Structures are given as structure tokens and as C-alpha cells.
Structure 1
Amino acid sequence: MADERQVLEEHDEPHDQDFGERLNWLRAGVLGAGDGIVSTAGIVIGVAAATTERSTILTAGLAGLVAGAMSMAVGEYVSVSTQRDAEVALIAKETRELREEPEAELSELADLYAQKGLSEELAHEVAVQLTAHDALGAHLDAELGIDRNALTKPWHAAYASFVAFTVGALVPLVAILLVGVSARVPVTVVAVVLALLVTGSLSARLGGAPAGPALRRNVLGGVLAMAVTYGIGAAVGTQI
């Protein structure tokens, strides 16, 4: 029974080559959606605490949505582009070293596998066979943890962040505009909490992590942000 359980657990582990790319999309998407929900909720609730003018709330909400979505997209593009540039530079360096010092690189690869627990003889044999099959791929995997066929994609991350932020931001914006003045804040808070529960649950499920911590972080962070901006808006509205 224990052996069967171990086999099932190993079968459930994410060994597919696209898992890293999927996690990159997940990271960008969940971060973008969460930011869109929380930041826009903070803006519209803060403004709603200062004024009852629907047009003012709409203008502030739309401005926050567009600015936030663009900021997320540009930030993700720059960040992932930097990562990709580093990966490309490392691949070029490894390619040059394999061309100029093949024996030294073979010895280095064997040493890496020996450090992982293989005997020197077996490590050398593994290094020889992997080098014959795909020398560059073997070195990139063992030394750098890079798959040259699955490099990070800046435009994918930027697009995912932009779309996710926009979708997330629409939740509090639509919620606060569709109800009467007295119900605006409580309805928006409920809508935001539910949305954060969904994004937290989704991120935990797709990432294979426990749902509890993600849900607590999402909800507590969102409620805190709304409380702070509501207090600031109320104070400013009273002064004006």
C-alpha cells in the first residue's frame, strides 16, 4: 500500500516541461487580478467615502484601471525580458565553452552528477552519454536549470498581467456603480472579498499549494486596503 501511495504521489508531481511556463502565466495572472481587485477597490471606496457623485467615482475607477493595467503589463514585460536576456546570455556562454573546452566541460558535468550522489564512474558514464545526446541541453539543465526550448516569454507575461488586472479591476468598479449610495460600500466589500476568495483558491489549486494561507493573505490584504482608503476618503470628504 505504501509503495502504491508513493507511485501515485510521484505520478501527481508536475514533471511536464511546460510546468515552468504555466507557473509563469499563473504568477502574472494571479498577481495582476489581485492587484486589479484590491487597488481599484481601494480607489473607488476611498472616493465613495468622500463624495456620492457617480461620475467622479467612475472617472477615478477607470483612471485607476487603465493606469494599473498598463503599469502591470510594462512591469511584467521589463522583468521577464531581463530574465530572458540573462538566460540567453548564459546559453551563449555555455555554447562557447562547449566549443572551446569540450573536455573540461565533460569533466565539469561529471563532477556535477557526482555531487548529486552518483559514483565517479557512473557520473562520468552519465556525462558521456548525455553529452553525446545533447551536450548543451545537459549542461544547461545540470548547471543552470534552464530549458532552452521553454524560455520565459515577456509578451505573454505582459498580456496576462494586463488582462488579469483589467478583469480584476472591473469587479469593484461594476459593484460600486450598480447599486444605490447607501449600499455602495458594503456591496463592494462583499464583491471584493468573494473575488479574492476565488483568485486565492485558483492560485492555490493550480499551484498545488494549500488553499488556506492564500485565502487568508488575499482577503486580509484586500480588507485592510479598503479600510485604509475608506478612512482617508472619509477624512478628506469631511474636510472638503
Structure 2
Amino acid sequence: MGYFSVATSDADDLHAVEPHAAGVSSRLNWLRAGVLGANDGIVSAAGLVVGVAAATPELGPILTAGVAGLVAGAVSMALGEYVSVSTQRDTERVLLAKERRELEEAPEAELAELAAMYQAKGLRAETAQRVAEELTEYDAFAAHIDIELGIDPNELANPWQAAIASAISFTLGALLPLIAILLPPVSARIPVTFAAVLIALALTGTISARLGGARKSRAILRVVLGGAIAMVVTFAVGQFVGGIGY
């Protein structure tokens, strides 16, 4: 009797925990996307303003290039995310509709398919058939989309939410190098921007490593080195262009 009461309690606990775990996973995915968007904004804007600053000491061109790059990048990120997530959402809706139609038109075939999938996962044929029958009786549609598609129809991605989040994260990231290059005196603009950008990239690398469970040193080195290379290249291009007559 004690075994069954414990088993029931555990099942209830798992039922209560799973939605929470799914919500945490979803929030972590959005946070990771935000960190990546901010990282993209930092590197893109830094490369742009450093390149222009290497060509001219005038604030006007630097500010214009920085703001234009920020706006263009934010819009590009938003549009890209909107198109990508919309395509994903449309595809998921088509798959869900197809699965629902198949269940209505050929329920027996779908039941056999469900049992076969559970058997392929390691259950004995009799157990797989019983599991398939019980799940079908409870909610056939939910059972099929879970094991076949891995889609939760109540948590389909929102393209507008993705677009706005990407635009905001890119903008916040791009603001840092823009501010860093505008505030110091002319002689310190590029060194200050380099330092600020590399520190910010080290921070985003640390956050992304923690979210992904990866080694911090490798993640930090990757983003810092990439950002440094981008700024060095655009600095060299700016000096070359400025040297032939900006």
C-alpha cells in the first residue's frame, strides 16, 4: 500500500513539475537569444564606429554611421526573426493539422503507429500496445504530437515577440560602443571603445556559457577574439579609406 501511495505522489509531483520545467526551458531559450542579439549588436556597431573613427576624428560622421548601423541592424534582426519564427510556426501548424486529420481518417492505423513508436523506444510489444491504447483513450492527439512531433500546440513561437526581443537586444548591445566612442576625447576614443567592447563581450560570453552549460573560458575567448578581430579589421579599413581621402 505504501508503494502505491508513494508512486502516486511521485506521479503527481512530476505532473506538477513538468510544465514548470518547460516554462524554464522556454525562458532560457529567449534569454539565450537575447544574449546573442546583444552580442551581435555590440560587434556590429563597434566595427562600424571604430572603422569610421579611424578614418576621421569628426563626431558627425561617427554618430551618423553608428546610429544608422544601430537602426539598420535592429530592423534587420527583427525582420529576420519575424520571418524565421513565422515560417517555423506555419510549419508546426501544418504538421498539427495533418496529424489531427490522420487521427480522424485512420484511427486504427495511428494507434498501431503509436504502439510501434513506443516499442521502438524499448517497450515490449504488449506494453507498448497497452500504453498506446491508454494514451489514445485519454488524448490521442496529444499523445501523437508529443512522440512524433515534439510540439506543444499551446506554446507555439510568437513571431512578433521574437522580432521585438531581437530588435531590443540588438539595440541595447549596439548602444554600448556608440556611447563609448562618443564620450571620450579624440585620442582616447578608439582605445576606450576597444576596452569597453571586449569587457562587454566577455560578459555576454560568460552568460551564454552558463546558459548552455559550456566551459566559460572557451566561450569568452571565442566572442572576445571574434570582436577584437572585427574591430582590428574595420580599423585598418577605416585608416586605409581615410588615408586616400575621406
* TM-score between the two structures when normalised by the length of structure 2: 0.89
Is the aligned partner of 1:175 residue 2:180? yes
Q: Does the C-alpha gap of structure 1 residues 20 and 59 become closer, same or farther in structure 2, counting only changes over 3 Å?
A: same
Q: Name which of 24, 36, 54 aligns with 1:31.
A: 36
Q: Quick one: structure 1 residues 132 and 212, their matched pair in 2 at CA, closer, same or farther if it must change by over 3 Å?
A: farther
Amino acid at match of 1:107: A
Q: Distance in 2 between matches of 1:84 and 1:23?
A: 19
Instruction: Give CA-to-partner distance per residue, 1:145-170, whole Å, 9 cap, x none.
Output: 11111111111111110000000001
AA aligned to 2:113 is: E
**Which runs of 5 or more residues in structure 1 are unaligned?**
1-12
Counterpart AA for 2:80: G
Aligned amino acid, residue 49 of structure 2: V
Paired residue type of 1:221 = G
Aligned-partner SS, 1:16: helix
Query: Larger deviation: 27-36 or 220-229?
Result: 27-36
Q: 1:108 aligns with which of 101, 105, 113?
A: 113
1:155-234 alignment runs, 5 A limit: 155-234=160-239
Mark the CA change 1:66 to 1:233 in structure 2 (over 3 Å): closer, same or farther: same
1:52 corresponds to:
57
Once the two structures are superposed, the pairs formed by residues 73-92 of structure 1 within 5 Å of their partners are 73-92=78-97
- Equivalent residue for 1:63, pick from 49, 64, 68: 68
**Of 134, 142, 149, which aligns to 2:139?**
134
Deviation at 1:14, TM superposition (A): 11
Query: Does the aligned pair in 2 maintain the 1:65–1:169 contact within 8 Å?
Result: yes
49-58 vs 145-154, greater mean Cα deviation? 145-154
Q: Residue 96 of structure 1 is aligned with which of 75, 95, 101?
A: 101
Give the conservation status (yes or no) of the 8 Å contact 2:115–2:132.
yes
2:242 to 229, 237, 240: 237
| Displacement after TM superposition at 1:202 (Å) | 1.3
Measured in 2, the distance between the counterparts of 1:106 and 1:216 equals 51
SS where residue 146 of structure 1 aligns? Answer: coil
* CA separation of 1:20 and 1:153: change in aligned 2, threshold 3 A: farther
How many pairs align?
228
Q: Does the CA contact (< 8 Å) of 2:32 and 2:211 recur in 1? A: no
1:19, CA displacement in angstroms? 4.1
2:150 corresponding residue in structure 1: 145
Aligned mates of 1:155, 1:163 — CA distance in 2: 12
Which amino acid in the other structure matches residue 170 of structure 2?
F
What is aligned with 1:154?
159
Q: Residue in 2 aligned with 1:21?
A: 26
1:99 to 1:208, Cα distance in 2 relative to 1, 3 A: same
1:209, distance to aligned residue in structure 2 (A) = 2.9
Task: State the secondary structure of the residue aligned to 2:21.
Answer: coil
Cα deviation, 1:167-194, whole Å, max 9, x if unaligned, reads: 0001100000010111111110110011
Q: Distance in 1 between matches of 2:71 and 2:216?
A: 30
Could you say which structure has the larger radius of gyration? 2
Q: Once the two structures are superposed, what CA deviation does each residue of 1:87-133 show, in whole Å capped at 9, x if it has no partner? A: 00000000000111111101101111110111111111111111122
Do the aligned residues in 1 keep the contact of 2:52 with 2:238 (CA within 8 Å)? yes
Q: CA deviation at 1:206?
A: 2.5
Relative to structure 1, is the Cα distance of residues 107 and 24 closer, same or farther in structure 2, using a 3 angstrom cutoff? same
SS of residue in 2 equivalent to 1:149? helix
Query: Percent identity over the alignment?
Result: 64
Distance 1:177 1:196 in 2: 19
**1:106/1:131 contact within 8 Å kept:** yes
